[in-house]
Amino acid sequence: MSTELHVLGLGGSLCSISAEPHWQLAQVKEAVSRQLGIPLLEQRLFEGDAELCEFTPCSSEFGRHLTLIRRPPQQASFLQRIADAERPSDVYQVMCSAPPEICEDRQVLAAAVRRNGWALTFAGGGLQ
């Protein structure tokens, strides 16, 4: 039996999704993308103040109301480039090309450091 999920933005209701119990967050994001045209990597879905992780099953954790916060396209692009990097040295090269605001982005830097610890050398601002 499907569950009706209401996706809210900061300004109110955005859409409703009929989610199957076996779905994980990735399938919910795909449905949101189909309805709203928001790329998957630009979506951050929250229940209350907690961001949901990609592999959370709908049946166990989701409430009926989720809040969508949209990532800036540049942040999503660098997260994708880091995820697509085949070797740790490729992650380092991605960070070499990153502008200062990306080097100061906690989520991008954490993703890069998980793949290559030397990426921490690019930490800007108060992140070092």
Element (H, E) at 66: strand 65-70
Same domain, 17 and 37: yes
d(CA 123, CA 102): 9
Residue 65: CB partners within 8 Å, gap ≥ 6? 5, 6, 8, 47
Question: Residue 33 is part of which domain span?
Answer: 3-70
Q: What pLDDT is attached to residue 79?
A: 96
**CATH of residue 43:** 3.10.20.90
Same domain, 66 and 77: no
Pairing type for strands 50-51 and 43-47 reads antiparallel
Asked if residue 128 belongs to a domain, the reply is no
d(CA 73, CA 43): 10
Alpha helices in the chain (DSSP H): 25-36, 58-61, 73-84, 88-96, 100-103, 106-115
Pairing type for strands 12-19 and 3-9 reads antiparallel
What tens digit of pLDDT does each residue of 1-36 get?
A: 788 899 999 999 999 999 988 888 899 999 999 999
Asked if residue 85 belongs to a domain, the reply is yes
Instruction: Provide the number of structural domains found in the chain.
Output: 2
Q: What pLDDT is attached to residue 2?
A: 83
Q: What pLDDT is attached to residue 9?
A: 96
Same domain, 95 and 80: yes
Q: CA angle, corner 57, sides to 55 and 58, nearest 5?
A: 135
Per-residue pLDDT of the chain (128 residues; tens, 9 = 90+): 788 899 999 999 999 999 988 888 899 999 999 999 999 999 999 988 888 887 777 765 566 899 999 999 999 999 999 999 999 999 999 999 999 999 999 999 999 999 999 999 999 777 66
